[in-house]
Amino acid sequence: MGFGSYDESEQQNQKVDVSDDEDGVSVHESDHDGEVTFEVDASTDDLLDKLQDIRDEDAS
């Protein structure tokens, strides 16, 4: 079998038991309606310089 191919027999008779909701994850469990604000004391140039420093460290 090459990359991206599949065995059609694997696609047949797939049964999934979805009746047990206790093991599921609620995607709305941590929902919130709020606001996020950031106060930055650094200038845009300072932040761009810091970003360049981080990129330089990652490159080495």
pLDDT at 10: 65
- For the entire predicted model, the pTM comes to 0.36
Beta strand extents in the chain (DSSP E only) = none
pLDDT at 27: 81
31-40 pLDDT, tens digit per residue, is: 888 898 888 8
4-60 pLDDT, tens digit per residue, is: 666 666 666 667 666 655 667 778 888 888 898 888 889 999 999 999 999 999 988
**What is the distance between the alpha carbons of residues 6 and 11, in angstroms, rounded to a whole number?**
9
pLDDT at 56: 95
pLDDT at 6: 64
- Structure tokens that stand for 53 in this block: 């420093």
**What is the distance between the alpha carbons of residues 50 and 52, in angstroms, rounded to a whole number?**
5
